[in-house]
A and B are shown apart, each in its own frame.
Chain A
Amino acid sequence: DAGVIQSPRHEVTEMGQEVTLRCKPISGHNSLFWYRQTMMRGLELLIYFNNNVPIDDSGMPEDRFSAKMPNASFSTLKIQPSEPRDSAVYFCASSGNMGTSGYNEQFFGPGTRLTVL
């Protein structure tokens, strides 16, 4: 299994530009999570999907951020327009059904390091 795949790994852009981050979850997983990690705020959950439906987007900082999951194997996080304070590492994670195990391990991608100048 290739694990969770994120692209690009690094993105440098200028303030005001649109940024799109991409994620391919592990095949068969039905939940997908987007996180943001900064030194100041640590790891923050932005939004998560279950069966392609957004369940909780309360962590999305503002209207400049949007996320979609058009199918079970692909999700995007878009920032438009981007600002310097959006600079962070963005992680995507996926998990499968809890089933009888009693827990839902999340598998993380390698992250996208975003720098907005």
Chain B
Amino acid sequence: GDSVTQMEGPVTLSEEAFLTINCTYTATGYPSLFWYVQYPGEGLQLLLKATKADDKGSNKGFEATYRKETTSFHLEKGSVQVSDSAVYFCALSLNYGGSQGNLIFGKGTKLSVKP
């Protein structure tokens, strides 16, 4: 079945370090891919997205490129800040002819950034 696998955490980095969180997916169709972020005590919010192969999603210094050949959507940031400490979820959505498709989430990766 359709699924998302992301690297297990927690990930602990020093401020200004480079971040990579790996995400790979399995899907029978052509999914849209997402990264959601959950700050402590809050709900999830969309960080970035890509709807087709080779698209690059970017927001707040974070980037991820939709790689169909490797079925991956790795999240990267060149220089993390303490405020980036959160749990990051990779997700996919299968769109059936324009109808609503629910999201399939990975298990989440907790990131802690130390000053």
In contact, B100 and A50 (Cβ under 8 angstroms): yes
In contact, A102 and B102 (Cβ under 8 angstroms): no
Q: How many residues of B contact A (CB 8 A)?
A: 25
Q: How many A-B residue pairs have CB under 8 A?
A: 66
In contact, A42 and B43 (Cβ under 8 angstroms): no
**Neighbouring A residues of B20 by C-beta, 8 Å:** none
In contact, B95 and A109 (Cβ under 8 angstroms): no
Q: In the complex the two chains form, what is the Cα distance from A108 to B51 in whole Å?
A: 20
Q: How many residues of A contact B (CB 8 A)?
A: 27
Q: Does B45 contact A (CB under 8 A)?
A: yes
Q: Does A2 contact B (CB under 8 A)?
A: no
Q: Evaluate whether A43 and B100 lie within 8 angstroms (CB atoms) in the complex, with A103-B32, A109-B43, A111-B43 already known.
A: no
Q: Evaluate whether A102 and B100 lie within 8 angstroms (CB atoms) in the complex, with A42-B107, A43-B105, A108-B45 already known.
A: no
B interface, over-half SS: loop
Q: Does B27 contact A (CB under 8 A)?
A: no
In contact, B93 and A103 (Cβ under 8 angstroms): yes
Produce 1/0 per residue, B91-113, CB < 8 A to A.
00101001111110111100000
Q: Evaluate whether A43 and B89 lie within 8 angstroms (CB atoms) in the complex, with A31-B100, A91-B43, A106-B103 already known.
A: yes
- Pairs of residues from A and B, 10 with the lowest C-beta to C-beta distance, nearest first: A108-B43, A102-B51, A103-B32, A42-B107, A108-B44, A31-B100, A43-B105, A110-B43, A103-B51, A105-B46
Q: Which residues on B are within 8 Å of A, measured CB to CB? A: 32, 34, 36, 41-46, 49, 51-52, 89, 93, 95, 98-103, 105-108
